Amino acid sequence: MIHLHHCVAARSFRAFWMLEELGLSYQLTVWPFPPRVQAAGYLEVHPQGTVPLLIDGETRLAESAAICEYLVARHGGNTPLAVRPDEPAFGAWLQWLHFGEATLTFPQTLLLRYACFEPPERRQPQVVADYTQWFFSRLRTLDAALQQPGAGTDHVCAGRFTAADASLGYALLLADELGLSARFKPAVAAYWQALQQRPAFQRARQAERDAAIAQGVSPASAVPRLPGA
């Protein structure tokens, strides 16, 4: 059985969401955040000490966008969540799948570190301000794409919801948790609202809470709001 190691509201939610979209059976372990500090023994499971970690037989994956791509390729069959190489939108799909993590989530991790997680004497308000602007400047690319032919309320390419939208959707979830969603442009705000209405998204959020409580972990978000947000 697929085994996902997860923290509440962490980037491992991408993988969790995809498991629910695909209707796969899985085992979920929820760790307190950050697990490398808060969970004795997690480094023995995953020496990097981060989430996600997905174990599927002999396969171990720790990159959230790669896990989304892996799940639809290995376990999706003919799922519409993937875009095939012979489809015109294949390149756009790959671009958006990785844009969600590499371009949108990257600056958010710096916001978290230098606004919330570092000791007070090491916090960097200028870094927080700069990378908040960096995030919103890159979000303009998504805003423009959502207004192009082929996009829709809950999808950015291929005329349907795909794994790329789950990747992008987590970046918007993280922005919401940080208190930044009030600054979304209308197209992005509508997209985020539509993604939250997907049954698999809602199942994942509820299952996340239920599993955390059952495993003795706080179901509250691991992501603090930015000061002043």
Mean pLDDT over all residues of the chain? Answer: 96
| pLDDT tens-digit readout, 7-24 | 999 999 999 999 999 999
Give the number of C-alpha atoms closer than 13 A to the C-alpha of residue 19, restricted to the C-beta side.
27
pLDDT at 149: 87
Residues of the chain with pLDDT under 70: none
Q: How far apart are CA 71 and CA 68, in angstroms?
A: 5
Neighbours of 22 (CB within 10 A): 18
C-alpha distances (whole Å) from 177 to each of 2, 156, 174 are 28, 22, 5
**DSSP labels for 157-184?**
STTS--HHHHHHHHHHHHHHHHT-GGG-
| pLDDT tens-digit readout, 134-182 | 999 999 999 999 999 889 999 999 999 999 999 999 999 999 999 999 9
Q: How far apart are CA 206 and CA 163, in angstroms?
A: 20
